[in-house]
Amino acid sequence: MSKHPRVSKLFQKDLVAEALKDSFKKLNPAAMIKNPVMFVVEIGTFIMLVLSIYLLFRPDAVQGSFMYNLIITLILFLTVLFANFAEALAEARGKAQAETLRKTRQETPANIILPNGEIKSVMSSDLKKGDVFAASAGELIATDGEIIEGIATIDESAITGESAPVIREAGGDRSGVTGGTRVLTDSIKVLVTTEKGESFLDKMISLVEGAKRQKTPNEIALTILLSGFTIMFLIVTVTLEPFGRYANTPIAIASLISLFVCLIPTTIGGLLSAIGIAGMDRALRANIIAKSGRAVETAGDIDTLLLDKTGTITIGNRKATNFYNVNGMPDSDFIKYCAISSIADDTPEGKSIIELAKKSNVEIDLDEFKNDTFIKFTAQTRMSGLDSARGLSVRKGSIDTIRSLVQSNGESIPAKMQKIVEEIASNGGTPLAVAVNGKAAGVIQLEDIIKTGIQERFERLRKMGVKTVMVTGDNPLTAKYIAAKAGVDDFIAEAKPEDKMNYIKAEQVSGKLVAMMGDGTNDAPALAQADVGVAMNSGTQAAKEAGNMVDLDNDPTKLIEVVEIGKQLLITRGALTTFSIANDVAKYFAIVPALFIASIPQMQVLNIMGLTSPQSAILSAVIFNAIIIPVLIPLALRGVVYRPLGAESLLARNLLIYGLGGVIVPFIGIKLIDLLITFLKLV
């Protein structure tokens, strides 16, 4: 499937240039205070700058040389700048995507239909919610709305990136249209469903720009936790100064600030916003509009997933696969009756019956029935057929409908036919009964085709700890068969809209988070009730308003991808938080011995890295603390590779990689930097 152009390269020249410029703009304390960890680093940088200027004119042996303090100041400044750059780069990628979308959004003329029926040409910006406009072949749809009259083929590639046109029509669950898409054939009347500035394009632009992004509850909670760590290490650092005086070891301000900056979680503090923005970016690249970052996060914690059978687990259209004649008439006659009873059935199932009849070498001459009355299939009657002027009456429909028909004629369903019906249902098929002149004649078998690879995808979800539930209107026997074949954990048979709602409520009462996808007005209550409700863009306005995500591709299996995106976001944030906190161990062993080793030689045992000098140790730790942020930017933006493992296995794996790795990497990095500093004779 073709998608719209997305920003894929992390370090594009123009994006990097813009991000660098924004990095300096973000140094404004009013902006920095939103990130408490980096804000205190900025304060520390300012203090070091003042101290460096002071030492230029009033040297102090205790505080160290002017050059040493200036180097510390510059490194602290770079630490803040790198953190700003990570966030600015994530925002720049979003702005680039937003600019692409803005080119799609343009002022277009719209033929508004006035209450008196008059048609007036206005610009799309003048349309209000509740207005009705007409759109014909070749015209752009002016704004988001719902088709209230007509059917049309529509090119949605400007929004979804999908080149194949789609059919949208009034009265069903695929009546929604999006501004900026183009009508290819026919004409439609559209009811405007959004106010100015609230269209999907507007929402997409707002979401991907990132600068106005609202922090999620998890992100806020982590920010508070990191602030707590910062306050704790501030107390630890401040108390070291009197300890130093007691030990006759005056500690330089540069050393205290360096220790403080190195111990607080600057790595995750600098990358936290970038991780959140990148998570929203990944959702958009999957053609998903999340109304908030919270919805993406919640998807990562989902316990139960409700999926419609049709179009999700199965291909969508059932096909006729067999004819069962129970009347004793010639098979060719029975097949012919099956075919002519389906002529007025415009559903895919009805068409497949005629195709199967042709494969059985049964040809139908429509001229033979030109004076006859065809009975069209409707959802209400659940039956189609033909009444011939020659006295022939043929009906095809659901088993219950045909049973009622034959019973009204004083007949009954033969035991042989009933057995065939039960066998078809138990094997996952759908039986349709055929009656000729009021008597049961036989059965047509319809089969659902399960999508290739769907079993593997459900197995992947199972490994994630997600329970899958199939929702279908089929009878319990059919539903059980398909559920077993597809590999889902549970199913809801003969499902009505309220059944979905009740199942979701029951799961939530037991403390579980539930996700589901829907496109119709009847899905709206369940979408609103679900913790993650994904509505299809082609669906009704009620469904799109009820859900907290919208799938632009109208792909029912997208729920599986949504869960993986959410989990990747949570894992990335957790992994980098673990790595950041683990870093402190190595930096502690680098700086603390350096502070006291001169007066307390016994602390040499803690200098396990064998760093050259106290000044070199402090400088090495501060440099490592700064450069690790840009090194981890690609990981923050792309996300940690997600593998469908159980919670315990995943925790153990991440603790090993990012916990233990977070301890080992700084030991190696600081030692290498120390060797380089010594070689260059910087201190």
Q: What is the dihedral of CA 348, 351, 353, 355, to 10 degrees?
A: -120
Q: Is the pLDDT of residue 8 over 60?
A: no
Helix (H) or strand (E) holding 365, with range, is: none
Tell which wins on pLDDT, 460 or 489: 489
d(CA 258, CA 242): 17
Q: Is the pLDDT of residue 370 over 90?
A: no
In sequence order, the 6+-apart residues with CB closer than 8 A to the CB of 190 are 132, 133, 134, 135, 141, 145, 146, 147, 148, 177
| Residue 173 confidence class, pLDDT cut points 50, 70, 90 | low
Decide: helix, strand or coil at residue 166.
strand
The pLDDT assigned to 45 comes to 95
Cβ atoms of 84 and 23 within 8 Å: the answer is yes
| Residue 650 confidence class, pLDDT cut points 50, 70, 90 | confident
The pLDDT assigned to 160 comes to 63
Cβ atoms of 590 and 611 within 8 Å: the answer is yes
Query: pTM for this one?
Result: 0.71
Q: Is the pLDDT of residue 2 over 50?
A: no
Query: What average pLDDT does range 230-245 have in this prediction?
Result: 86
d(CA 215, CA 276): 8
| Residue 261 confidence class, pLDDT cut points 50, 70, 90 | very high
User: Which of 266-280, 537-551, 612-626 comes out lowest in average pLDDT?
Assistant: 537-551
Q: Is the pLDDT of residue 341 over 80?
A: yes
| Residue 211 confidence class, pLDDT cut points 50, 70, 90 | very low
The pLDDT assigned to 478 comes to 79
| Residue 72 confidence class, pLDDT cut points 50, 70, 90 | very high
d(CA 628, CA 625): 6
Q: Is the pLDDT of residue 125 over 70?
A: yes
Task: Report phi then psi at 96, rounded to 5.
Answer: -65, -40
Q: Is the pLDDT of residue 1 over 50?
A: no
- When the pLDDT of each residue in the chain is averaged and rounded to a whole number, the result is 84
What DSSP state is assigned to residue 310?
B
| Residue 629 confidence class, pLDDT cut points 50, 70, 90 | very high
| CA-wise closest residue to 553 among 178, 161, 146, 202 | 161
Cβ atoms of 335 and 396 within 8 Å: the answer is no
The pLDDT assigned to 311 comes to 66
Tell which wins on pLDDT, 236 or 10: 236
Q: Is the pLDDT of residue 402 over 70?
A: yes
| CA-wise closest residue to 73 among 535, 622, 682, 493 | 622
Q: Is the pLDDT of residue 210 over 70?
A: no
| Residue 47 confidence class, pLDDT cut points 50, 70, 90 | very high
Tell which wins on pLDDT, 131 or 207: 131
Q: Is the pLDDT of residue 212 over 70?
A: no
Which residues does the annotation mark as catalytic? 308
User: Which of 218-227, 520-529, 563-572 comes out lowest in average pLDDT?
Assistant: 520-529
Q: Is the pLDDT of residue 5 over 50?
A: no
The pLDDT assigned to 317 comes to 67
Question: What are the residue ranges of helices labelled H in 210-323?
Answer: 217-246, 253-263, 266-285, 293-299
Q: Is the pLDDT of residue 285 over 90?
A: no
Cβ atoms of 328 and 336 within 8 Å: the answer is no
The pLDDT assigned to 622 comes to 93
pLDDT tens-place string over residues 517-563: 877 777 888 888 999 988 887 777 778 788 888 887 777 777 788 88
What DSSP state is assigned to residue 327?
S
Q: In the structure encoding, which two tokens stand for residue 235, read together?
A: 């107390």
d(CA 253, CA 255): 5
Question: Which of the residue ranges 359-363, 485-489, 549-553 has the most confident prediction, judged by mean pLDDT?
Answer: 485-489
Q: In the structure encoding, which two tokens stand for residue 265, read together?
A: 């979680």
Helix (H) or strand (E) holding 558, with range, is: helix 558-596
User: Which of 3-12, 27-36, 94-103, 505-514 comes out lowest in average pLDDT?
Assistant: 3-12
| Residue 204 confidence class, pLDDT cut points 50, 70, 90 | low
| 386, β-bridge pairs | 374, 394
Q: Is the pLDDT of residue 580 over 70?
A: yes
Task: Report phi then psi at 113, rounded to 5.
Answer: -100, 115
| 418, β-bridge pairs | none
The pLDDT assigned to 100 comes to 65
The pLDDT assigned to 499 comes to 85
| Residue 203 confidence class, pLDDT cut points 50, 70, 90 | low
